[in-house]
Amino acid sequence: MRNLVFLLALLSSPVIAHEFWIEPFAYELEPGGKLQGELVNGQFFEGVKLPFRKESFHQFIQIRGDETAPVRAWPGSRPALDVDPIGTGLIVVAYQSGLSRVAYESFEEFASFAEHKDFPDIEKRHTELGYPMANFAEIYTRYAKTLVAVGDGAGSDRRVGLEAEIVALSNPYRDELNEGMRVQVFYGDEVRAKAQVEVFDKAPDGTVEITRYRTDAEGTVAIPVKPGHRYLVDSVVLRVPAPEIAQERSAAWETLWASLTFAVPD
């Protein structure tokens, strides 16, 4: 019932700007433990947990170093992530959704979301492109990753080929994080310099603090972290879709949502 109420709240919200992330049941596992977690769509690090639906994604894999294995499950099963890890060390789980579409009745709905995600010039761009100020659409894709330590958690994250991707430059389960958890943000093959990164910090008591940072010229940023806390890092690309996709989907804009989740041990 709680998830239903939350879903109705999302659907009735005037601002459609919801994060998507992978939320493991446990970020640290003993060897032989099960790798389990939810696919979540929501806000403020709380949301609706989605089932495994093969038709809804293009890629769902786990990675350890150079090894890769698909995440498989029965259609409709939950949790969507419920597999044996491919080994011990740092396991990276990566997910790429299919293409979805959302319609806006007014420009204000879209502008509020775009400004929140650090695109303050959206009205100027929208007007220059000759787009209507009402009844237009956006298409979007989700690119989510999570870091789980199995056994000693040794290893590192790496690029996995997502079009929008956040790569952990620190291993939160092994490295000293006194100077922060370092991540690097990519769009295609290029780093995203001066890009906004939104961080959701969930304390052990469930309270969530939200802060925003900006990447440097190399697309990197050091995020202050605390032991015992869980983190969702989010960054969004907003672009004009390719002409053939724009025509096929009747869409004015396209967004690519990159997320990364991890925890910091006590």
pLDDT tens digits for 234-252?
999 999 999 999 999 999 9
Tell me: pLDDT of 12 over 70: no
pLDDT tens per residue, range 91-148: 999 999 999 999 999 999 999 999 999 999 999 999 999 999 999 999 999 999 999 9
Tell me: pLDDT of 1 over 50: no
pLDDT, residue 73, reads 96
pLDDT, residue 17, reads 52
Bridge partners for 239 per DSSP = 254
Q: How far apart are CA 257 and CA 259, in angstroms?
A: 7
Bridge partners for 164 per DSSP = 187
pLDDT tens per residue, range 68-85: 999 999 999 999 999 999
Both tokens of 41, joined, read 């769509």
By mean pLDDT, which of 16-25, 176-185, 239-248 is the weakest? 16-25
pLDDT, residue 18, reads 84
pLDDT, residue 238, reads 98
End-to-end Cα spacing for the chain: 33
pLDDT, residue 236, reads 97
Tell me: pLDDT of 86 over 50: yes
Tokens 């008591």 sit on residue: 205
Strands 81-83 and 89-97: unpaired
Tell me: pLDDT of 46 over 80: yes
Q: How far apart are CA 230 and CA 225, in angstroms?
A: 9
Predicted confidence band at 175 (pLDDT cuts at 50, 70, 90)?
A: very high
pLDDT, residue 93, reads 98
Both tokens of 171, joined, read 């291993």
Q: How far apart are CA 102 and CA 143, in angstroms?
A: 17
Q: How many CB atoms lie within 10 A of CB 204?
A: 11
Before 79, cis peptide (omega within 30)?
yes
Q: How far apart are CA 203 and CA 178, in angstroms?
A: 18
Please give the average per-residue pLDDT across 147-160, as a whole number: 98
Tell me: pLDDT of 178 over 80: yes
Mean pLDDT, all residues of the chain: 93
Length of the chain: 266
Both tokens of 111, joined, read 């502008």
Bridge partners for 236 per DSSP = 257
For the entire predicted model, the pTM comes to 0.93
Please give the average per-residue pLDDT across 175-201, as a whole number: 97
Both tokens of 54, joined, read 């093969």
Q: Which of 12, 212, 245 is nearest to 139 (CA)?
A: 245
